[in-house]
Amino acid sequence: MIETSTQLVEYAAALREGTGPVAVDAERASGYRYGQKAYLVQLRRNGSGTGLVDPVPLPDVSVIQDAIGDAEWVLHAANQDLPCLAEIGLVPRRIFDTELAARLAGLPRVGLGAVVESLLGYSLQKGHSAADWSTRPLPEEWLVYAALDVEVLVDLRDALAAVLEEQGKTEWARQEFEAILAAGPPAPKADPWRRTSGMHGLKSRRQLGMLRAIWEARDELARKRDIAPGRVLPDSAMVSAVQADPKNEGALLELPVFRGRANRRLVAHWFNALARGKALPENQLPLHSKPGDGPPQPNRWADRDPAAATRLQVARTGLAELKEKHGGIPVENILSPDLVRRLMWAPPEPRDRAAIEAALRAGGAREWQVELTADLLTDAANRA
């Protein structure tokens, strides 16, 4: 464990003297704390050993960044960890994502334990991935689990690189890894309240307004208390409250969850939020779907635009054939399903390969994806 500035400087010196790629992982407290902050960072490099950095007492770990320099980082599911690592000053210049590499290689299971077992023959000790990593002190068995996540990550990288080279996909992987770095931190999601579980049961815009209001009230409270929103009030309780449309605080207290001690004290907070949402003028109520969401759900295409439905079916069939041809790589890694839907709903004009290629690049497709899919999508775009 690295918990003091002296230990941090000493480990940074060890990293600087090490050789080869640096294995990196992070543990968060999802489900317990608000946000996706890193509560432990694991690093390992040949010749440097494994360091478990505690960013709670060490919020500035830029000395580690300087020590790593231009060395390649090896991460598993990089998109999950890069945002929280960037918050403490750790930003890679080159990466190798072992989960993404496993997908490109067509492996049937891409979790870290499964890929390690498949390619290296080791079984990783698991069991604490969903733990509250904000706990201090961290139990010894948790630290062992955390260290194991980077123990063989560089060996796994080498094994996957060999598989990709054999399959002729090394350049595909290089482009994918560069795209992850170029994308930077994800933009804040528009209308995050729309991700509430179970909200499909709300039918009116008035109900959506009430849900948004109580979601915002919950989010504000969760942020202030540094508690995961679902622990403040479950999604199911918010949806139930909106559906019940209580006339007063007493009626709200009759609902499950709201009867508990914590929410009895907060009943005015929740009821007032519901009332604010219910009182909104019609022109301020949220729409049933976000503006600019793109095409409708594919199951509606046959009724709204049969020609588009035909185009989409042809495109999906072609992509499924590419999956089999290239070793079982998931279709969503061959090309973003959202981009496919957008192209087939409103194909560019003229519907030739050059226009399709331009639309693919504009939609964020990498060059290997453009080369692989442009012909089949051009064919699909001209089917109706």
Is the pLDDT at 291 greater than 70, yes or no?
no
For 190-247, the pLDDT digits (tens) are 899 999 999 999 999 999 999 999 999 999 999 999 999 999 999 999 999 999 999 9
Task: Locate the domains of the chain by residue range.
Answer: 5-183, 192-284, 298-381
For 164-195, the pLDDT digits (tens) are 999 999 999 999 999 999 998 777 888 999 99
Q: So what's the pLDDT on residue 130?
A: 86
CATH 3.30.420.10: does it fit domain 5-183?
Answer: yes
Residue 172 CB burial class (10 angstroms; 0-12, 13-18, ≥19): buried
- Tell me the C-alpha distance between 186 and 82, whole Å: 10
For 58-106, the pLDDT digits (tens) are 999 999 999 999 999 999 999 999 999 999 999 999 999 999 999 999 9
Continuous segment of H or E residues that includes residue 232: helix 229-232
Nearest to 243 by CA among 289, 186, 287, 196: 196
Q: What is the pTM of this model?
A: 0.92
For 351-361, the pLDDT digits (tens) are 999 999 999 99
Nearest to 52 by CA among 68, 39, 65: 39
Q: So what's the pLDDT on residue 119?
A: 98
Q: What is the CATH number of domain 298-381?
A: 1.10.150.80
Query: For the chain, what is the mean pLDDT?
Result: 95
Is the pLDDT at 378 greater than 90, yes or no?
yes
Average pLDDT for 359-375? 97
- Tell me the C-alpha distance between 120 and 224, whole Å: 45
Q: What is the CATH number of domain 192-284?
A: 1.10.150.80
Same fold, 192-284 and 298-381: yes
Average pLDDT for 318-330? 97
